[in-house]
Copies of this chain bind each other. A is one copy, B any other.
């Protein structure tokens, strides 16, 4: 997530450099063509690039609005994941009989909460294509780590362990039948949030639209360049450059928002959110060592 304050120019430049260079080359070529073949080129009326310009705007409006929706949906899913992590621990505290709620790492409450913390980190790492094992080792006992080894979808396997523990609690009569079902409903919601994030990660935004936006932008540049043939001379180059770069930057911004789990500065800040969950859950357990919230080192928070 980009932060409000300090967006370095260099970051923006790096993102649009290839586009700028391409447009620069194109406008130089156009300039050359017009110098040598000026007489044979048509005098395109400026209404034509105006029509294309409004088509580009509408297409970009569609793209930025849909990518924003994807990005916001990703954020909402991670928000509901925070809520249900808190709910899971509140419910475990409230449902499990006091005899079973001894302090210390043997207690089912301690196990559930730490497994839930591990789950948040694990899901974030998996979505970003990183290895979740190092984080898991911090929060899980050996026995559970061994169980996870054979699973490719480790977040799902952690939910399986949650379910297994809820089953044991019911068998030991630490919770009653309604409470088991209510806890299970929380697991269902966690499973939904996980699946939703995976869906956003794995679904490619229809690529044809990017192609069409680019196609429209180049057509626009071409007709604009021909339309300006007699009026502004060499000034055309900076004009084309400025307008085209803004369009390209807009398209690229939308494209980055579309994929919020790519280990980029525009990502949903999954690690920071997992840290928030860790702090919340440990305070609910009244743990002694609470980690500090993740702070941004630069202009973004991951």
Contact = CB atoms under 8 A, between A and B. Distances in A.
Given A62-B64, A65-B62, A152-B283, A2 B83 contact: no
A120 to B, nearest CB: 13
A127 interface: no
A194 B84 CA distance: 12
A30 interface: no
A233 interface: yes
Contact of A51 (B53, B61, B279): B53
A219 B246 contact: yes
A164 B66 CA distance: 42
Interface in A1-19: 1-4, 7, 12
A192 interface: yes
Name the prevailing secondary structure of the A interface residues. Answer: helix
Interface in A121-172: 150-153, 156-157, 159-160, 163-164, 166-167, 171
Contact of A47 (B46, B71, B98, B266): B46
Nearest to A207: B2
A14 B197 CA distance: 34
Interface string A166-196: 1100010000111111101111100110111
A275 interface: no
- Taken together, the copies of this chain in the complex come to 5
Contact of A246 (B86, B151, B212, B243): B212
A24 interface: no
Nearest to A71: B206
Contacts of A196: 79, 83
Contact of A178 (B4, B80, B177): B177
A93 interface: yes
A68 interface: yes
A44 interface: yes
Contacts of A171: 98
Q: Which of A188, A231, A253, A257 has most B Cβ within 10 Å?
A: A188
30 contacts: A1-B203, A3-B204, A44-B232, A45-B46, A45-B228, A48-B224, A51-B53, A53-B54, A55-B246, A58-B58, A58-B60, A61-B61, A86-B159, A86-B191, A87-B191, A90-B159, A91-B163, A91-B188, A98-B171, A153-B280, A153-B283, A156-B280, A177-B177, A177-B178, A181-B181, A181-B182, A206-B266, A208-B253, A212-B246, A223-B239
Interface of A: 1-4, 7, 12, 42-62, 64-66, 68, 71, 75-76, 79-80, 82-83, 86-87, 90-91, 93-95, 98, 150-153, 156-157, 159-160, 163-164, 166-167, 171, 176-182, 184-188, 191-192, 194-196, 198-199, 203-204, 206-209, 211-212, 215-216, 219, 223-224, 227-228, 231-233, 235, 239, 242-243, 246-247, 249-250, 253, 257, 266, 279-280, 283-284, 286
